[in-house]
Amino acid sequence: MVDAEADLVAQLQTGSEAAFRTLVARYQDRVYRTAFSLLRTPEEAEDVAQEVFVEVYQTIARFRGDASLTTWLYRLATSRALKTRRKAQTKKRFAYFTNLLGFDNNVLHEPPDHAHPQALLEGQQQLQLLLDHIARLPDQQQVAFTLRHEQGLRYDKIAAVLDTTVPAVESLLFRARQTLRKHIQPHLRYV
């Protein structure tokens, strides 16, 4: 896989359109799922995925290979998704204050629909509760939790994406799980 990835990078750096199509075909699902895990809206996740591939296309010539191509893509997807989420939160705050101050009666930004496919299929309020609490985790904890539990990445890959150490990832995941347990356990019903 490492050799195939290195060959793909070399082809991309020569400007090969076929290599770019291969890149998109091979990684678009991972990039989209990562963005969706953090944003929870299909439209925003699609926009982020497109932005990631545009950025790769524009900057691949400067890719030095310090990290694997996969790690770089995860890093781009998570940073773009977090940036998108921060922009949305800023718009929501601005809309709230605009409405609060009476400048107009139009809502500038609708709150995102947190309907995850699993929640729709299973109809579980507990899943929605979990997703809501995951979204409230600090950014680093949320990214680590999402990459581990929704994307299935190993700790060393998560560390590479977050540009940190494996013990730091372990700590982030521990704190995320503790926080989630604390907030969700009171709402769970045991049969």
Ordered by start, the domain boundaries in the chain are 1-113, 114-191
Which residues make Cβ contacts (< 8 Å) with residue 48, sequence separation at least 6? Answer: 31, 35, 39, 77, 80, 81, 84
On whether the CB atoms of residues 150 and 96 are closer than 8 A, the answer is no
Separation of alpha carbons 6 and 118, rounded Å: 36
Write down the pLDDT at residue 132: 86
pLDDT tens-place string over residues 170-179: 999 999 999 9
On whether the CB atoms of residues 74 and 153 are closer than 8 A, the answer is yes
Domain 114-191 has CATH 1.10.10.10: yes
pLDDT tens-place string over residues 8-37: 999 999 999 999 999 999 999 999 999 999
The candidate with the shortest Cα–Cα distance to 47, out of 82, 80, 86, 88, is: 80
- Predicted TM-score (pTM) of this structure: 0.66
Distances in Å between the Cα of 141 and the Cα atoms of 7, 78, 138, 186 are 33, 12, 5, 21
On whether the CB atoms of residues 117 and 152 are closer than 8 A, the answer is no
- Fold designation for 1-113: Rna Polymerase Sigma Factor; Chain: A (1.10.1740)
